[in-house]
Structure 1
Amino acid sequence: MDPNEERRAMKARKAHYDSLHFVTDSMLGIQERCVCGKRLVRERAPAEVFDYLPGKRFFTCKEYKAIEEEIGIMKTRLEKLEADNQELKAEVGKLTARMSELECGP
């Protein structure tokens, strides 16, 4: 198959799948609830923020900041646990080597 023809066919398939995606999104409508379960608040962007699209509409959740902070705390805890885990693995490795030495003995 000609590479140019293959590329055109691939782009045509991608355009078809994109159109299917857009149709399914339009069937679902605008989301009314956040993943946390709270209602979304409809807001408009100030003109100075989006000068190319003044008054752009978007949706936010009041709980978003709280969830974002909680995720940050959880990430910090996870990093500490991963560091502790690495230390414990190194210690287990040393102890296993020491046991092998003792089992073999003189």
Structure 2
Amino acid sequence: MDPNEERRSMKANKALYDSLHFVTDSMQGIQERCVCGERLVRERAPTEVFDYLPRKRFFTCKKYKDDGMHYRQPWICAVEEELGILKTRPESLEKHKSMVVKLEVENQELKAEVEKLIARVSELEYAA
């Protein structure tokens, strides 16, 4: 395979994987980038737009057009999702802490067993 063609193929694959990352990133919490790869900006709806919440906030792509290819999410939805993600973290941290304690105890037991085996091996070597 030609090195230039291989490099182009690698760049195309990287762009594909980056876009897949942006899509999955955009599905949870407060987003950093749009599906197109642009940064999201915080904006407010104009006051003249009739809405039940005037000056409603959004996370919007810099290149936003109402074509379905760019991201615009209401601020409140993103914040609610982010809070939901943050609420689950303490529970998972407690699980990890308990696992760490168990592993430390097991590690100490294994160290003691290794010391006994080393002593036994040195006894056998000395006897032989």
Whether TM exceeds 0.5 here: the answer is no
The structure, 1 or 2, with the larger RCO (C-alpha pairs under 8 Å, 6+ apart) is 2
Q: What TM-score comes out, normalization by structure 1 length?
A: 0.44
